[in-house]
Amino acid sequence: MTAPVSPRAATTRFARLPATGGVGFKPQHFDAILNDAHGVGFFEIHAENYFGAGGPPHRRLTALRERFPLSIHGVGLSIGGAAPLDRDHLARLVALVRRYEPQAVSEHLAWSSHGGFGFPDLLPLPLTEETLARVVEHIDEVQDALGRPLLLENPSTYVRFATSTIPEVDFITQVARRTGCGLLLDVANVDVSATNHGFDPEAYIDAFPLDRVAEIHLAGRFETHDEAGHPLFVDAHGSPVADPVWRLYARVIDRIGPVATLIERDDDIPAWEVLAAEAGRAAAILAAARVPSEAHADAA
């Protein structure tokens, strides 16, 4: 059996989120949250939704930030893009982070822009030495601009490049080692990619650099089949977290102890109580994993 990673080791190095359940903030839940947060411990926003200077989005976010820890999650920086980073986009991200001082800042191992055009998808990368060098350069640039570590999220993928020469876990490990960044482990993405490419999700988790994981994402999926009749999972945030993802998540927490865990829901948004209950399920798993010395320290 692989030795467990010290609980909260990564959280104290790369982020300051509480080790409990959180959700992605949706404006339609704002009043309900302020009236009763149902035990949800933190909120996450997509950075690009708040690149404007003011208005209702910032008024709501200011009120939320006064009461809760915050994670800012970028979706459009195109860390893996072949072109240089968009300096205007990065400047807006830096301004947002300085304005709200979140407990975590994260982005995806993906690309989403090229030649001045943005795409509404997080697209996969050829995992090569050339790509590795480019991703490292981009993360170094982002971290220098932010003045803090970035959390890099593992992707969900549907195709692989024939030119790839580095296994995904090794690629992510090398990125983290060379840049000093932390990691956001999306357990649902592991489940999706494992199904689509036919690998063992538990082996992926066991090989992942768990000592750098400072936040976890859980989300629903859309299940279908490809043209050959093989199962095909889509990383769709429009349904509850599937049972296999909860089981894989429990395996992660058994290895590393409590880590801030976010429920992602971006489509078919349910009532606040329903979404908060999923965060509560994650919080219960985290609470059960707390070691006695950690619980005593928190109580003190």
pLDDT digits (tens, 9 = 90+) for 50-83: 999 889 999 999 999 999 999 999 988 999 888 8
Q: Where are the domains of the chain?
A: 9-299
pLDDT higher than threshold 50 for residue 119: no
Please report the sign of the dihedral spanned by the C-alpha atoms of residue 203, residue 17, residue 9, residue 180: positive
pLDDT digits (tens, 9 = 90+) for 3-49: 455 545 556 689 999 999 999 999 999 999 999 999 999 999 999 99
pLDDT higher than threshold 50 for residue 297: no
For residue 108, the cross-strand partners are 153
Amino acid 295: pLDDT: 43
Q: Report the C-alpha gap between 37 and 253 in whole angstroms.
A: 24
Look up the pTM and report it: 0.89
Mean per-residue pLDDT over the chain, rounded? 87
Q: Report the C-alpha gap between 105 and 13 in whole angstroms.
A: 13
Q: Do the Cβ atoms of 216 and 259 come closer than 8 Å?
A: yes
Q: Do the Cβ atoms of 9 and 211 come closer than 8 Å?
A: yes
Q: pLDDT: is 120 or 300 the higher one? A: 120
Query: What is the distance in angstroms between the CA of the first residue and the CA of the last residue of the chain?
Result: 33
Q: How confident is the model at residue 121 (pLDDT cuts 50, 70, 90)?
A: low
pLDDT higher than threshold 90 for residue 245: yes
pLDDT higher than threshold 60 for residue 300: no
CATH says 9-299 is which class? alpha beta
Percent of the chain with pLDDT over 90: 69
